[in-house]
Amino acid sequence: MPSRFGARASRRLGALARVACPLLGIAMSTASASAQAAAPSAQAAAPAQSGAPVQGASSAQAAPAELPPPPGQVRIRVINALTNEPVHDERLNVALRVDQIGSVAMGTDKNGIILVDAKKATILRILSNMYADCRPRSELYTNYSVAAILSTGVTTGNLCSSASPKAKPGELILYEMPKTYLRQYPAPPVDSMPHSPN
């Protein structure tokens, strides 16, 4: 009798195993497919999450856009014609009237900028001081219209290099170079002056 009951039990267990094993195989294959599908999305999410701070950092490191000068103020930008870098140690003579004797020496900041409050002035005149002026001789004592500077911006003449950027409204661009530099553009200087005895 025990052997007969044992045989029945083993047959039932065998039948259960034949039914359960395929079901377990289907469940495992489904779980494996779900895991494989979830892995790429997790990998895609990881770079996105790691990239978010980098984008934030790059935007934080980006230089802020330069704001236009306050209303009624002229921004004089002094640039070294040799290096295209700001001239940060100039003491530019600035006059808001025709008489250049009434000019004031104004220092440039680290960005080569001088802010001038034009008030009710209609013309502005500038003259280099610590550096050599790159403007043509005919332009050295030009009366620049304050209205033109404020509305469209003005770029002065530049004999020292080929640079001639477009000024922004409210901006006057002046090119200078160190006084110790012998200009080679557009032609080298003459060897001797016409009145020289040599």
Per-residue pLDDT reduced to its tens digit, 5-39: 555 655 665 555 565 555 555 555 555 555 555 54
Q: Which position has the higher pLDDT, 72 or 140?
A: 140
Question: Is position 166 within any domain?
Answer: yes
Determine how many CB atoms are found less than 10 A away from the CB of residue 78: 24
Task: Tell me if 58 is assigned to some domain.
Answer: no
d(CA 198, CA 179): 24
Q: Kindly state whether residues 97 and 144 are assigned to the same domain.
A: yes
Whether 155 maps to a domain, the answer reads yes
Q: Is 142 helix (H, G, I), strand (E, B) or coil?
A: coil
Task: Tell me what pLDDT residue 181 has.
Answer: 62
Does 57 fall in a domain?
Answer: no
User: For residue 109, is it within any domain?
Assistant: yes
Cβ partners under 8 Å of residue 107, min gap 6: 89, 90, 91, 92, 114
The answer to whether residue 146 sits within a structural domain is: yes
The amino acid at residue 174 is L
163 phi and psi angles, rounded to 5 deg: -70, 135
Q: Does 86 share its domain with 157?
A: yes
Check residue 85 and give left, alpha or beta (phi > 0: left; psi -120 to 50: alpha).
Answer: beta
| CATH number of the domain where residue 114 is located | 2.60.40.1120
Quickly count: other Cβ atoms within 10 Å of residue 148's Cβ. 14
Can you give 40-66 as a three-state secondary structure string?
HHHHHHHHHHHHHHHHHHHHHHCCCCC
The verdict on 33 and 109 lying in the same domain is no
Is residue 139, in this structure, part of any structural domain at all?
yes
Token representation of residue 195 = 């009145």
Residue 46 sits in the same domain as residue 77: no
H-type alpha helices, the chain: 2-61, 146-151
Domain assignment of residue 46, given as a range = 1-51
Which is more confident, 22 or 110?
110
What is the total count of domains within the chain?
2
Residues linked to residue 127 through DSSP beta bridges, in sequence order: 93
Q: Is 47:59 a contact under the CB 8 Å cutoff? A: no
Residue with tokens 């509305």: 151
Q: Flag whether 188 is in a domain.
A: no
pTM of the model: 0.58
Q: Are residues 82 and 126 in the same domain?
A: yes
**Which of 13-17, 50-54, 127-131, 139-143 is predicted least confidently?**
50-54
98 shares its domain with 171: yes
Does residue 77 have a pLDDT over 50?
yes
37 and 92, same domain (yes or no): no
Quote the longest CA-to-CA distance of the chain.
Answer: 143
Please check whether residues 91 and 123 belong to one and the same domain. yes
Contacts of 82 (CB under 8 A, 6+ apart): 160, 161, 177, 178, 181
